[in-house]
């Protein structure tokens, strides 16, 4: 028997009180932190949608795994269990644990990227881009044309533009390309999935031009879910089998296991190339730890091994996608422009369309994110010109990002439908305040990843 209601496929065993604050308090908190939402204390946030990275809830089986964690420095049982699960899932020869995804990216950038290299991708996320730029290379986004049209639904808006990719791979700059990086799902592009057809085509191009193909696979299970729903060839294929096939199309991957690993910490770098893997392990020992723990406690490795088993559960993934879709329907109902269709882990508001009176260099996305917090204690994050634009040293306006987005990322197995209903009410109130919102200016910023620590103030 089929039911219309999608329920949370879990029951609650432990609870944590939600902070309830007044608007006056929230205004003071924002002023204290120079209007940077990253600076807020967790007890000052009611619904925290800043990120889905490391913020989810672990299962009872994961907590049981933590209790059996083996803290041996080298070759622990926890490492063995982690290695076996990752090897079975990905098929890669060399499994290298790290404390989180950006550590994997840093190691990859250090061993495989040279000054002047060009790194093509469907879209690089912020830490990925920053690590490649720090290596003095040029990360290039080659998002498909459907992905550039935020408001028109299409099934696989995370795909790479294959024509643009081949143009690069056959150009005079091809020798500068060490690998092609495919991000699944495409976080920067609105949490949009990449089709298996697109991944296979990238594999063919990499074979043709003798290039490595790597995955940024933070949300591999969510991507596999969308493939099972939208790609006819895969509609009767198990989610885990789709994920396995995607991994085996590539030569390796980086993963932040704080996403689809159901972990509060953890990451990995996996490679088929033995020589690159040896370089990676040598650098790992310098920066993260011995290769069988890589900056993680044994108990974390055990919890991640269990999480990687649970993440491909069809019931969970259906609930996950429907939760975001439910919130998206509310936003559309209130006239808020969003990336359509809804992504797998977050709702993305198109702040450029919502606030056309605020130019990119005045950060319309940040204005929306601050207002959501002021209205209801909901913390999101700007993914527009503040995060991805380029600051000009001569005082000129920033070089704008492609899009001005606000991401509301849902932690895994953490919030219920009533929480999403509350966020929906905050979105409704946002539309009432639309004409009063003002832009911001940056008063202090670092050179890299400025949105994490920049100081801002509202324009009068």
346 vs 379: CA distance, rounded Å: 13
406 vs 419: CA distance, rounded Å: 19
Q: What pLDDT score was predicted for residue 22?
A: 97
What is the percent of the chain with per-residue pLDDT over 90, rounded to a whole number? Answer: 91
- The answer to whether 372 and 434 have CB atoms below 8 angstroms apart is no
Q: What is the mean pLDDT of residues 158-170?
A: 98
Question: How far lies 327's CA from each of 156, 193, 427, in Å?
Answer: 20, 18, 10
255 beta partners: 268
Return residue ranges of the chain for CATH 3.90.1150.10: 23-52+314-458
Region of poorest pLDDT, from 34-48, 278-292, 395-409:
395-409
Q: Tell the residue number behind the tokens 């991000």, with chain if given.
A: 183
Residue 313: how many other CB atoms lie within 10 Å? 15
pLDDT tens sequence across 173-192: 999 999 999 999 998 888 99
Residue 232 DSSP SS3:
helix
**Among residues 247, 118, 249, 123, which one has the least CA distance to residue 182?**
123
Return residue ranges of the chain for CATH 3.40.640.10: 60-310
Q: What is the mean pLDDT of residues 93-113?
A: 97
Q: Tell the residue number behind the tokens 């219920």, with chain if given.
A: 416
Q: What is the mean pLDDT of residues 365-379?
A: 98
Q: For residue 3, is pLDDT > 90?
A: no
Looking at per-residue pLDDT, the higher value among 447 and 115 belongs to 115
Helix H or strand E segment including 47: strand 47-48
287 vs 277: CA distance, rounded Å: 15
Q: Tell the residue number behind the tokens 């290379």, with chain if given.
A: 137
* Statement: 60-310 belongs to CATH 3.40.640.10: yes
Q: Are strands 94-98 and 267-271 parallel, antiparallel or unpaired?
A: antiparallel
Q: What pLDDT score was predicted for residue 142?
A: 97
What is the percent of the chain with per-residue pLDDT over 70, rounded to a whole number? Answer: 100
Q: How confident is the model at residue 240 (pLDDT cuts 50, 70, 90)?
A: very high
Q: What pLDDT score was predicted for residue 1?
A: 61
Q: Which fold has domain 23-52+314-458?
A: 3.90.1150
Task: Quote the DSSP letter at residue 270.
Answer: E
Task: Quote the DSSP letter at residue 7.
Answer: -
Q: What pLDDT score was predicted for residue 6?
A: 78
Q: What is the mean pLDDT of residues 102-122?
A: 97
Instruction: Give pTM, 2 decimals.
Output: 0.94
Q: For residue 375, is pLDDT > 70?
A: yes
Helix spans in 288-416 (H): 298-310, 314-333, 351-354, 364-376, 385-388
Reply yes or no: is the peptide bond before residue 185 cis, omega within 30 of 0: yes
């Amino acid at each position: 028997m089929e039911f219309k209601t999608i329920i949370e496929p879990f029951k609650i065993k432990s609870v944590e009180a939600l902070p309830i604050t007044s608007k006056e308090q929230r205004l003071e908190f924002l002023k204290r932190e120079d209007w940077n939402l990253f600076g807020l204390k967790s007890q000052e946030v009611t619904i925290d949608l800043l990120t889905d990275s490391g913020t989810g809830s672990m299962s009872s089986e994961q907590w049981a795994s933590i209790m059996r964690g083996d803290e041996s420095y080298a070759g622990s049982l926890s490492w063995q269990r982690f290695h076996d699960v990752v090897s079975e899932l990905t098929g890669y020869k060399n499994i290298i644990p790290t404390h989180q995804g950006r550590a994997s990216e840093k190691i990859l950038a250090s061993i495989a990227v040279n000054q002047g290299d060009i790194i093509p991708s469907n879209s690089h996320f912020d830490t990925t881009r920053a690590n490649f730029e720090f290596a003095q290379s040029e990360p290039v986004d080659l998002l498909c044309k459907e992905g550039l049209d935020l408001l028109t639904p299409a099934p696989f808006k995370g795909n790479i533009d294959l024509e643009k990719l081949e143009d690069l791979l056959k150009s005079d700059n091809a020798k500068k390309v060490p690998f092609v990086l495919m991000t699944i799902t495409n976080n920067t592009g609105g949490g949009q999935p990449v089709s298996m057809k697109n991944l296979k085509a990238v594999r063919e191009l990499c074979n043709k031009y003798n290039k490595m193909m790597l995955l940024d696979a933070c949300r591999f299970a969510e991507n596999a879910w969308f493939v099972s729903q939208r790609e006819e060839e895969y509609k009767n294929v198990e989610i885990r089998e789709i994920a396995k096939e995607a991994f085996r199309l590539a030569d390796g991957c980086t993963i932040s296991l704080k996403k689809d690993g159901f972990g509060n910490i953890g990451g990995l770098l996996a490679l088929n190339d033995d020589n690159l893997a040896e370089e990676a392990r040598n650098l790992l020992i310098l920066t993260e730890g011995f290769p069988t723990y890589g900056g993680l406690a044994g108990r974390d490795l055990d919890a991640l091994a269990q999480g990687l088993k649970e993440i491909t559960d069809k019931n969970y993934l259906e609930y996950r996608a429907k939760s975001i879709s439910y919130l998206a329907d509310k936003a559309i109902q209130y006239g808020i422009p969003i990336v359509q269709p809804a992504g797998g882990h977050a709702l993305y508001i198109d702040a450029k369309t919502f606030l056309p009176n605020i130019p990119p260099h005045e950060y319309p996305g940040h204005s929306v994110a601050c207002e959501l917090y002021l209205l209801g204690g909901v913390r999101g994050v700007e993914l527009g010109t503040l995060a991805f634009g380029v600051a000009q040293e001569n005082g000129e306006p920033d070089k704008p990002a492609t899009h001005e987005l606000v991401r509301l990322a849902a932690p895994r197995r953490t919030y219920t439908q009533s929480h999403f209903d509350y966020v929906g009410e905050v979105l409704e109130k946002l539309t009432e305040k639309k004409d009063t919102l003002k832009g911001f200016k940056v008063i202090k910023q670092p050179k890299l990843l400025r949105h994490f620590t920049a100081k801002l103030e509202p324009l009068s």
